Structure 1
Amino acid sequence: MSKNALLILNGELNLTKREIDLLLEKKEIDKLIAVDGGANRIKKINILPDLVIGDLDSLTKKNRKYYQSQKIEIIKHPVEKDQTDSELAIDYCLNNNFQKIYLTGALGGRFDQQLANLNLLEYIVELGLEAKIISSHLEIALIKEQQKFINKKGYRLSLIAQTKIVKGLTITGCKYDLDNEDLKRSQTRGISNLIKADKAEVKLENGLLIYTLEKQN
């Protein structure tokens, strides 16, 4: 059976307590992992993680003592290292047989960290795992071959080439459909499409895409 993890990073936490509780209740999440300062974020909404991991330079002393008192597992890494805390958390998931990784708190905060977190989606795919950045109104993930969007009518869909060129891009079910065209990373053609059908689909022959799917007000 597939095991899924939710990583709480130290950016803006745009999931509510109720939304996280629902993921846990529906068994979509098997383990809740707070990544360093992300442990401060979820403490504010009164959720206990299963694990806190990182160099702990952002975790407050008060919250660290609290988690220790609650017998929460804490894995501490050195401050001087070659990986971000988020990458270390992903490696933990790989080594503990998780197949799908959700990330929240990946956006907002330091801009360099945001860019690094987006590129971690590719790192996760290279490891043979699935990945998705999620918030209340937005999801971000990679498309390697194809992706279907079911019951997302009215959502804004943007496609951004992660590789220098994406070959043979086909889009159906959207305001701006494409048929076997190429998309360059240096251009912005894939931004701000709109899903118009109950089922939309993106296919590509070669390359890698980042998609953003945003719920409209």
Structure 2
Amino acid sequence: MIINLLAGGPVDYIPNLKEYDSYGKEEIVWAGIDRGVYHLLQFGIKPKVAFGDFDSVTEEEFQEIVCEVNELKRFHPEKDETDMELALNWAISQRPRKIHIFGGTGGRLDHFMANVSLLLKPLQVIEDCMVEIIDRNNIIFFKKPGIHSIERDAEKKYISFLPVSPEITGLTLKGFKYPLNNCHISIGSTLCISNELIINHGTFSFNQGILMVIRSRD
């Protein structure tokens, strides 16, 4: 199962969602977050569940959401978790193979940074689940130590590696324009910005820490 979450970020940053609406015979489940629920309906996608305090939609828009979505989880605006965190907690509980987050970039910087920090949560509670923040120009995900394969993408050819933990040890990049072998990098390092694959399939590996991977296009 793949769960797609759409938050209420600027529409201009959202990719073509129809490209993520099917994946062979695998079940695709959509969930909307606050104004993202209304955006999903405008895109012709009916979410299974909706989360939010819905302070970013008009009363008319909210009534449309009520009519269209069977499972509506409405929360008080003053709460300990963001709408995104509540939705992600639900998604994790479904034990999917992959979670895509759309509408999580652009707009307010504090919202964006909070959304990126939430990528740490699945690493702690669920194994073998890829969680990605996706917009028109970027894909962001975190990785724990190990050997990880990565495919060449002509559209998003730039690949950057950023330490999230204080230190990444043993970082090795194979199949890249700028390879590394058993390198140690500390948080704040920009050594691994804007690399590129030179073969169709490469690998990156490391022994300790948590690594943020960003795939981008100009």
Common fold by TM > 0.5: yes
Task: Return the alpha-carbon distance in structure 2 between the equivalents of residues 107 and 15 of structure 1.
Answer: 9
Aligned residue in 1 for 2:150? 149
Superposed CA RMSD:
2.0
Specify whether residues 60 and 97 from structure 1 end up closer, same or farther in structure 2 by C-alpha distance, changes over 3 A only. Answer: farther
State the one-letter code of the partner of 2:207.
E
Specify whether residues 32 and 127 from structure 1 end up closer, same or farther in structure 2 by C-alpha distance, changes over 3 A only. Answer: same
State the one-letter code of the partner of 1:107.
T
Task: Return the alpha-carbon distance in structure 2 between the equivalents of residues 59 and 67 of structure 1.
Answer: 10
Specify whether residues 96 and 198 from structure 1 end up closer, same or farther in structure 2 by C-alpha distance, changes over 3 A only. Answer: closer
Specify whether residues 29 and 133 from structure 1 end up closer, same or farther in structure 2 by C-alpha distance, changes over 3 A only. Answer: farther
Task: Return the alpha-carbon distance in structure 2 between the equivalents of residues 31 and 63 of structure 1.
Answer: 22
Among the aligned pairs, what percent are the same residue? 25
Aligned residue in 1 for 2:122? 124
Q: 1:90 aligns with which of 64, 82, 88?
A: 88
| 1:35 Cα deviation after fit | 0.6
CA deviations on 1:82-108 (whole Å, 9 max, x unpaired) are 111111001112333334211011110
| 1:215 Cα deviation after fit | 3.8
5+ residue gaps, structure 2: none
The SS at the match of 2:120 is: helix
Aligned residue in 2 for 1:78? 76
Task: Return the alpha-carbon distance in structure 2 between the equivalents of residues 180 and 85 of structure 1.
Answer: 40
5+ residue gaps, structure 1: none
CA deviations on 1:121-142 (whole Å, 9 max, x unpaired) are 1112112143111234421111
Q: Contact 1:39–1:59 (CA<8 Å) still a contact in 2?
A: no
Aligned residue in 2 for 1:23? 20
Q: 2:186 aligns with which of 184, 187, 190?
A: 184
Task: Return the alpha-carbon distance in structure 2 between the equivalents of residues 134 and 147 of structure 1.
Answer: 19
Q: Contact 1:122–1:142 (CA<8 Å) still a contact in 2?
A: yes
| 1:208 Cα deviation after fit | 0.7
State the one-letter code of the partner of 2:40.
I
Q: 2:107 aligns with which of 94, 109, 128?
A: 109
The SS at the match of 2:119 is: helix
| 1:143 Cα deviation after fit | 1.7
The SS at the match of 2:193 is: coil
| 1:157 Cα deviation after fit | 0.5
TM-score normalized by the length of structure 1: 0.89
| 1:28 Cα deviation after fit | 5.3
| 1:43 Cα deviation after fit | 3.6
Task: Return the alpha-carbon distance in structure 2 between the equivalents of residues 152 and 25 of structure 1.
Answer: 20
The SS at the match of 2:76 is: coil
Query: Is 1:138 the counterpart of 2:138 in the alignment?
Result: yes
Query: Is 1:54 the counterpart of 2:52 in the alignment?
Result: yes
The SS at the match of 1:179 is: strand
The SS at the match of 1:25 is: coil
Specify whether residues 187 and 22 from structure 1 end up closer, same or farther in structure 2 by C-alpha distance, changes over 3 A only. Answer: closer
Aligned residue in 2 for 1:159? 161
State the one-letter code of the partner of 1:152.
D
Task: Return the alpha-carbon distance in structure 2 between the equivalents of residues 179 and 71 of structure 1.
Answer: 51
